[in-house]
Amino acid sequence: MDIAAKRRADGVLVLASGVLGTQRAQIVEFAGKNRLPAMYPSNQYVEDGGLMFYGVNALDLERRAATYVDKILKGAKAAVLPVEQPKTFEFIINLKAAKQIGLTIPSQLLARADKVIK
C-alpha cells in the first residue's frame, strides 16, 4: 500500500484474496485517507466504507449451491451435475466514501447501481 501512495496511484482495484480479506478495514481506510477511488471484490468492503463493488451476488450463489447439495443428498453424482456460471451480479456505490475522497458520481452511474449507500 505504501507503494501506491509513493507513486501517486490514480485508483485501486482490490482483488479477491483470503489474505486481503483479513485486512479489509485497513485497505478501506488507506484508500479513503489517500483519496483513492477503489473497486472492491465484495460488498463487505463497501459496507465498511469503501467506494464501489461490482461482482457476483454471493447470497444468490449460496442459494444455488444449496440446490446442488440437495441433489447430491438425494443421490445425484456430483461429477455429472452441470457447472453453472453466476447469474446475478450487483453494483453498490457508497456516496459517503465518494464525498470523503472528493469524487462526484455521475447520476447515470447512480441510476445503474443496485444499492447506493448515502
Q: pLDDT tens digit string along 64-115?
A: 999 999 999 999 999 999 998 999 999 999 999 999 999 999 999 999 999 9
- Would you state the pLDDT for residue 1? 66
Contact (CB, 8 A) for 11 and 38: yes
pLDDT over 80 at 4, yes or no = no
- What's the mean per-residue pLDDT of the chain? 94
Phi-psi bin for 7: left (phi > 0), alpha (psi -120 to 50), beta? alpha
Domains, in order of start, for the chain: 2-56+88-117 (3.40.50.2300)
Entry pTM: 0.86
Q: pLDDT tens digit string along 59-68?
A: 999 999 999 9
- Residue 91, SS3? strand
